[in-house]
Amino acid sequence: MAGPIPLSQYIAAANAEYYAHRDPLGSAGDFTTAPEISQMFGELIGLWAADLWQRAGSPDITWVELGPGRGTLTADALRAMAQVGLTPPVHFVETSPTLRAAQKAAVPDATWHDDVATLPDDRALIVVANEFFDALPIRQLVRAGDAWRERMVACQDLLFLPIAGKDVPDSIVPEHLRDAAPGSVIETSPANVGIARAVAGRLVRQGGAALVIDYGYEGPAIGDTLQAVSGHRFANPFEEPGSRDLTAHVDFATLGAAAGMEGVRVEGPVGQGAFLTALGIEPRAEALARTSPERAEQLAADRARLTDADQMGELFKAMAWTAPDWPEPAGFA
C-alpha cells in the first residue's frame, strides 16, 4: 500500500466493493430502507410525481431513480402512476451489478447508467433518490492543535486507522466553525455537491423535478457521522472495509445550496413524517387495511415506522428541486 489515502477515497473503494457483491437490503441483509418496509412509500412518491406532472401540463417525462437498490420504490411508484395515465420510460443510475440484476427483475424495461452524465436530455426528468446521497464518499476535516487537517486512512498490515493528514487552509472551513475545539470534525461531500449540481442543471435545461429523501441534518456543522452498518448493527468503519456499508448523514443545507446555484427552486427539507403525512399516508394505510383486514396491524406498524418522530419521521428528511417553470411540488407547505 502506497501510504495513507484520503477518507473519501477509502469510502469510495470500500463501498464499490461492498455493493458490487451483495444485496445488502432487507431483514437478511445489513440494513432496510423505507421502500422495503412498505409499498406505501413508493406508491405515495408515484402519486406525488403524477400530481406534479399533471399540474405541469402532462408533458413527456423520463423517470429516473438514483441508487434504486432492489427497484422496489420505482416498481411501486409505476403502479400508482399508471392509475392516472403516467407511464414514463425508466432510467436507473446504479453501479452495482448485483443490484442491477435485482432491479431488472422488478422493472424489466429500465435502462441503466453508471452516472447521471448519460441520462436522456431530450425531455423533462422526474428524479428520485432515496438513501442514495448517504452512500457517497465524504471528506472529513479534523481540528488538530490550531489547524484543520484532512482526515486520512492509513493501513498497517490488515489494520486500517484514521490519521490526521496535511493542514488545509482555514479559508475552506466555514467561518463560524473555524475555532472549534481540538478533535472536532467537519464533513463535506464533494460527490454530493457534484451530483446535486448535475441533476439540478438538467432540471433547469430540460424541466422537471427531483425528490431527495435521506437521513441528515442542516449543516455545515461539527460532527462525525461516518457510520458502518452490518447485520442491522453499527460497526467500526475502519474494520473489514468492503464487507460493511459505509455511510454519512447528508448535509441538506449544502445539498440544497448546491442545487439552487443551478437555478432550481428548493423546497424543504421537511421531516419524512410530515412529508408522508401531507401526501396522505394515513388514509392510504386505512384504505389498504379495509381491503386486507388481516394486514391492518402490520400496515399501522409500517406507517408508524416511516413517520413517527422517534423512528424515521424526523431524522429522515425530504427535499425537492423543481425547474423554475414547473409548479410547486406537494408535501412541503
Crossing angle of helices 252-261/190-206, nearest 10°? 40
Q: Taking CB under 6 A as the rule, does residue 36 contact ligand SAH?
A: yes
Residue (164 or 246) nearer to ligand SAH, CB: 246
Number of residue whose CB is nearest ligand SAH: 67
DSSP annotation of 119 reads S
Neighbours of 181 (CB within 10 A): 7
Segment 121 to 150, residues that bind ligand SAH, using CB under 6 A: 130-132, 135-136
Q: Taking CB under 6 A as the rule, does residue 331 contact ligand SAH?
A: no
By the 8 A CB rule, do 238 and 185 touch? no
- Which residue from 10, 19, 160, 238 is in contact with ligand SAH, where contact means CB under 6 A? 19
* Count, residues near ligand SAH per rule CB under 6 A: 20
Residue (114 or 294) nearer to ligand SAH, CB: 114
Q: Taking CB under 6 A as the rule, does residue 99 contact ligand SAH?
A: yes
By the 8 A CB rule, do 102 and 71 touch? yes
DSSP annotation of 198 reads H
Q: Is 162 helix (H, G, I), strand (E, B) or coil?
A: strand
Q: Taking CB under 6 A as the rule, does residue 316 contact ligand SAH?
A: no
Q: Which stretch binds ligand SAH (CB under 6 A): 55-63, 89-97, 252-260, 288-296?
A: 89-97
- Which residue from 95, 206, 243, 298 is in contact with ligand SAH, where contact means CB under 6 A? 95
By the 8 A CB rule, do 303 and 282 touch? yes
Crossing angle of helices 281-291/296-307, nearest 10°? 160
DSSP annotation of 3 reads S
Residues that bind ligand SAH (CB under 6 A): 15, 19, 25, 33, 35-36, 67-69, 73, 93-96, 99, 130-132, 135-136
